[in-house]
Amino acid sequence: MKKGVYGLFKLLNISYKRKMINFKNIVANAISKVVNINETEIEMSIEKPKGSENGDYAFPCFRLAKELHKAPQMIANDIKENIKVDENQITKIEVVGGYLNFFINKEILVEEVLNEMSEDKEYGKSTIGNGKNIVIDYSAPNIAKPFHIGHLRSTVIGAALYKIYKYLGYNVTGINHLGDYGTQFGKLIEGYKLWGNEYNIEENPIDELTKIYIRINQACKEDEKVLENCRNNFKKLEDGDKYCVEIWQKFRELSLKEFQKVYDILGSKFDSWNGEAFYSDKMPEVIDILNKTGKLVESEGAKIIDLEDKGINTPCIIEKSNGSSTYATRDLAAIMYRARTYDFDKALYITSYEQVLHFKQVFEVAKLLGLDEKYTNGLEHVAFGMVLLPTGKMSTREGTSIKLSELLNEAISRAKAIIEQKNPELENKDEVAKKVGVGAVIFNDLANNRVKDEIFDWDTILNFQGETGPYIQYTYVRTKSVIEKAGGVPDISEVNSELLQDEYSIKLLKLIYDFEDVLVQVTDKNEPSILSRYLIDVAKAYSNFYNENKIINDDKNLQNARVYLTYSAGIILKTGAGLLGIEMPDKM
């Protein structure tokens, strides 16, 4: 490898955390010197053309056209005439329509990427988030109810964001805001009181408690009096009634043990398990503050905050008519607690879009709590779509939901069957089947824009050729076998970057160059699918490179360069998938 400027740093033994040349920034900076817009804004509007004939970066001049009352193409031409760039870095600038297209020096690009790859054990890792605190509220299943497929989505999206923020240097706290409080416990306690001895909840807690829950719901529908008893039970629980607290604790412990089975399969970890009950003694303060604002009013015996003037038609209920607290009040107490404890810059809530109204209300009422604006501005509901089965939506109440542990185990056994068929000689089949099956389910949850509803279909999810987790794993395994055939990864000093200038190598290298940028985009939008899509692009680009270029070669120089690129693609696939929570097998 030719010694670039960084090689010089190395020679001089200067310890310097190297970052690659930022071409996009170079382009934006040069444009900013000739137009009257700041660099950051320009950088944000720079696009990446799809086809390589339009260069590597494009600056659209349409918005400027409105301001300057000039045709976009004329503006593009003006900029082109006046712009000053280092011709070694930017080799060509072209005007096409209202776009200004920039072509970068591919030799520099290749050198930068390969050098960074060789020195940086954690490619793309950044310090951009240093000094910023992020709180992520995710998973949050409900005690005594099944851990269902919606909670899986929350767990998977939350864990991916957690890892990505952390990789970018943020200080992240992951909170499992367990649904361990609320009126449903009044119902469960009532059901347990009435028929507890008919059910074996020690043995099979969630199933049996679900049966009790369905039965008591039915009884509530038929008899108003039973419903009344249920409500009172919850009130008693909040007031610390010994019997109610005891049963509640038992439900909680048994449920957590069951949930842990799912977390073990997924490898989920949380920094805090403070659920809703944790806030029971922190709500009086909230109510006190809200009272003082004069906005807390009585309505049909309940205490509410009207949000009509904020464009929210449903009021936020702070206290029910029997004096018990609500889901919203507990979330308000949690906001105050988290602001004080974690001093968050962003607090993310990962739930299905069914809770859009809830979070709109809570975030609006939070502005009345007297917190610093930093906190109320940092609240963000990261909503995701439903998971649909071919038979329609799932609901716990009617008892039609699938249990997640069953679903994950089915994924693993289906993956095993496919492996058994494709590669019967493989060692550690069970371990690989677990990575493939679980990886397939995780990837499916992250594959598309999160607000889109997702259809859960086994054949699509596990298709090795589709845009799936197994496809990414399969491509990674292929990079491993290429390296094995070549007898290992060559030393970077034996790699001549000039040999990687063909179309397919460049396409792949450009993608690898973008990795950190992609991670930043994920955190900007809290959208892990940006990374999933990217990994599919990398896998496809590698497959094309592999099909078009003979890697194992008589020409050892050529082989070294191509094997090194293979190795780099593998690193990206493994690191990227790891950030999504997907493990890579070495063989499959």
User: Looking at beta carbons only, is 233 or 326 nearer to ligand ARG?
Assistant: 326
Residue 142 Cβ vs ligand ARG, minimum distance, rounded to whole Å: 5
Q: Tokens for 61?
A: 């001049």
Q: Which residues pair with 173 in a beta bridge?
A: 135
Residue 361 Cβ vs ligand ARG, minimum distance, rounded to whole Å: 12
DSSP codes of every residue in 122-186: STT---TTTT-EEEEE----BTTS---HHHHHHHHHHHHHHHHHHHTT-EEEEE---B--SHHHH
Compute the C-alpha angle 491/497/501, nearest 5°: 140
Q: Tokens for 559?
A: 């082989």
Q: Tokens for 459?
A: 């054949």
User: Looking at beta carbons only, is 380 or 583 nearer to ligand ARG?
Assistant: 380
Asked if residue 18 lies in contact with residue 9, where contact means CB atoms within 8 angstroms, the answer is yes
Residue 329 Cβ vs ligand ARG, minimum distance, rounded to whole Å: 11
Residue 277 Cβ vs ligand ARG, minimum distance, rounded to whole Å: 12
Residue 386 Cβ vs ligand ARG, minimum distance, rounded to whole Å: 13
Asked if residue 26 lies in contact with residue 105, where contact means CB atoms within 8 angstroms, the answer is no
Residue 220 Cβ vs ligand ARG, minimum distance, rounded to whole Å: 20
User: Looking at beta carbons only, is 353 or 458 nearer to ligand ARG?
Assistant: 353
Compute and round to an integer the Cα radius of gyration of the chain. Answer: 28
Q: Tokens for 428?
A: 């550690």
Type of residue at 357? L
Q: Tokens for 341?
A: 């404890």
User: Looking at beta carbons only, is 122 or 398 nearer to ligand ARG?
Assistant: 398
Type of residue at 527? E
User: Looking at beta carbons only, is 179 or 191 nearer to ligand ARG?
Assistant: 179
Asked if residue 392 lies in contact with residue 329, where contact means CB atoms within 8 angstroms, the answer is no
User: Looking at beta carbons only, is 83 or 144 nearer to ligand ARG?
Assistant: 144
Residue 557 Cβ vs ligand ARG, minimum distance, rounded to whole Å: 56
CA-based nearest residue to 445, from 503, 385, 398, 401:
385
Residue 146 Cβ vs ligand ARG, minimum distance, rounded to whole Å: 11
DSSP letter (8 states) at residue 336: H
Residues 6+ apart with CB under 8 A from 283: 325, 329, 330, 332, 333
User: Looking at beta carbons only, is 106 or 187 nearer to ligand ARG?
Assistant: 187
Residue 198 Cβ vs ligand ARG, minimum distance, rounded to whole Å: 27
User: Looking at beta carbons only, is 116 or 137 nearer to ligand ARG?
Assistant: 137
Give the three-state DSSP class for 351.
Answer: strand
User: Looking at beta carbons only, is 124 or 179 nearer to ligand ARG?
Assistant: 179
Asked if residue 136 lies in contact with residue 370, where contact means CB atoms within 8 angstroms, the answer is no
Residues 90 and 142: their CA atoms lie apart, in Å, by: 56
φ and ψ of 268, to 5 deg: -80, 140
Residues 6+ apart with CB under 8 A from 4: 108, 111, 112, 115
Q: Strands across the sheet with 171-175, in order?
A: 171-175, 133-137, 346-352, 379-384
User: Looking at beta carbons only, is 279 or 513 nearer to ligand ARG?
Assistant: 279
Binding site for ligand ARG (CB under 6 A): 137, 140, 142, 177, 179, 331, 334, 349, 351
Tell whether the torsion through CA atoms of 8, 11, 14 and 20 is positive or negative: positive
**Nearest residue by C-beta to ligand ARG?**
179
DSSP letter (8 states) at residue 65: H
User: Looking at beta carbons only, is 57 or 279 nearer to ligand ARG?
Assistant: 279
Residue 533 Cβ vs ligand ARG, minimum distance, rounded to whole Å: 26
CA-based nearest residue to 316, from 367, 372, 376:
367
User: Looking at beta carbons only, is 57 or 349 nearer to ligand ARG?
Assistant: 349
Residue 318 Cβ vs ligand ARG, minimum distance, rounded to whole Å: 15
Residues 320 and 303: their CA atoms lie apart, in Å, by: 7
Residue 574 Cβ vs ligand ARG, minimum distance, rounded to whole Å: 31
